[in-house]
Structure 1
Amino acid sequence: MSSSNAKLGDDFLHVPKVVVDRENWMTYKDRLSWSVDARGFLEHLDGTEKKPVDPSTLPTQGTSWIPSTPEELRELSAYRSAIKEWCMGEAITKQQIASTIPDSLFIQVKGLPTAGGIFMHLSNLFEKRSRIVSVELL
């Protein structure tokens, strides 16, 4: 993933900031989606990439699961690899969003746990506002 990102370059993936008065929301939303998709993380933005489940928290494992068989060790290793990849995708997607929104919006969304949740919050905020403006114009 990182080798392809290096080939793309920052200018190629640059998304102009969303304007506070929301006049460029629709083009911003599409450009952000395209940029995140070019990085291979679109599922983080749309919320369909789910966080891997820690095998030690599964109900079938009991309260204090300690992997002991080769299969359980492979399962734990696969989980650690998957969670590392998921966290990287989340961090990159969140940073892409954070670098393209004003500080006032960043303060509102910085505590949300996922990139998909952040994007959904922004979408709701901007699209509700867009509908209100449309109604007022009519």
Structure 2
Amino acid sequence: MLTAIGARGLMRYTDGRKVKPVPFVFDSLMSKYKKPDGSEPTESEVEDLDDKIDEYHQKDSLVKQQIFSTISDQLLLRVQSLGSASKIWDEVCKIHEGKTELVQIDLRRRLQEMRCEEGGDIKVHFSEQLRLCESLAGMGTMIEDHNFYAIILGSLPETY
């Protein structure tokens, strides 16, 4: 995930170094914007700041999209309301730190215990096995081809 984010030049949004620009304060009584020092910005300054804010939201959303597309639905529900990409990434890391080995053990066990029922959809079964194998690979646990082959064969119904 970090490779994909880094390839887009967006790591600052993940690690929190990119800070959202602060918009000018709008004085509704005067119908004018104010800078932090109290002076009135020019129209081009307002437009430039709005462009920077839009760019920030666009790039932050790209990082969130990358994170959301690679995490489980359960984890997505837990982190999606946190706001910025850096807060979401921090929470995802916090949730997974120290649990990686336990998660790997659980995924390996689930993979080895999977069985396709008689008359079941074999394509769905193989897809789920492949997904678990890829998840393990993403955590640094590679299952060798001959072992994966044995797991697949052992999960098939007797009619195969």
**Shorter-normalised TM range:** 0.5 to 0.7
| Length-normalised TM-score, structure 1 | 0.62
| Length-normalised TM-score, structure 2 | 0.54
Look up the match of 2:60.
90
Query: Does 1:43 pair with 2:12?
Result: yes
Within-5 A mapping of 1:79-118: 79-118=49-88
Change (3 A) 1:67 1:111: closer
Q: Aligned AA for 1:118?
A: I
**Taking CA–CA contacts closer than 8 Å with sequence separation of 6 or more, which of the two structures ends up with the larger relative contact order?**
1
- Moved segments of 4+, more than 6 Å: none
In the TM superposition, what is the alpha-carbon distance from 1:75 to its structure 2 partner? 1.7
Change (3 A) 1:76 1:104: same
Distance (whole Å) between structure 2 residues aligned to residue 130 and residue 66 of structure 1: 53
Look up the match of 2:22.
53
What is the alpha-carbon root mean square deviation over aligned residues? 2.9
Q: Aligned AA for 1:36?
A: I
- Of structures 1 and 2, the larger Rg is shown by 2
Say which structure is richer in helix.
1
> What number of residue pairs does the alignment pair up?
99
- Paired residues of 1:56 and 1:64 also in contact (CA < 8 A): no
Change (3 A) 1:113 1:74: same
1:13-54 CA-partner distances (Å, limit 9, x unpaired): xxxxxxxxxxxxxxxxxxx22210111211111111100110
Change (3 A) 1:56 1:70: closer
- Paired residues of 2:15 and 2:86 also in contact (CA < 8 A): yes
Distance (whole Å) between structure 2 residues aligned to residue 130 and residue 70 of structure 1: 53
In the TM superposition, what is the alpha-carbon distance from 1:55 to its structure 2 partner? 1.5
Query: Does 1:33 pair with 2:2?
Result: yes
Q: Secondary structure at the match of 1:111?
A: helix
Instruction: Give ranges in structure 1 of 5+ residues lacking alignment.
Output: 1-31, 134-138
Look up the match of 2:94.
124
